[in-house]
């Protein structure tokens, strides 16, 4: 394979890697969006007299963490698959970069 062909292939592989990373980022943003929507429901509902003891922050954090774990678990198979794909793409890109002359390699 000629050097220009390798450079073109490297460019395509790097673009595919960026797309995979964008997919992972999109899943992350979707999880964050869902958690942001849930936060008001996690706060304890104040009933009765206002002089009751203040809300326990640990209870809120426990509810937050359990909801986050549940939402993340729903998407875990996608996250795992994309993470494996990203690792394979990184390895393939490094192999191709190693085959390019040193003066044509990019970081």
Q: Tell me: the pLDDT tens digits for 88-107?
A: 999 999 999 998 887 766 65
The whole-number pLDDT of residue 22 equals: 98
State yes or no: pLDDT of 51 exceeds 70. Answer: no
For residues 86 and 17, the answer to whether their CB atoms sit within 8 Å is: yes
Rounding to the nearest 10 degrees, give the CA dihedral for residues 95, 101, 103, 107: 0
Q: Per-residue pLDDT averaged across 52-67, rounded? A: 82
Whole-number pLDDT of residue 78: 97
pLDDT at 90: 97
């Amino acid at each position: 394979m000629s050097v220009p062909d390798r450079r073109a292939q490297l460019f395509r592989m790097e673009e595919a890697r960026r797309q995979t990373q964008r997919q992972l980022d999109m899943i992350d943003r979707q999880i964050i969006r869902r958690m942001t929507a849930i936060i008001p429901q996690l706060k304890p509902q104040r009933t009765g007299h206002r002089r009751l003891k203040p809300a326990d922050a640990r209870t809120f954090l426990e509810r937050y963490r359990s909801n986050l774990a549940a939402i993340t678990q729903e998407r875990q198979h996608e996250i795992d698959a994309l993470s494996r794909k990203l690792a394979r793409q990184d390895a393939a890109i490094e192999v191709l970069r190693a085959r390019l002359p040193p003066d044509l390699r990019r970081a």
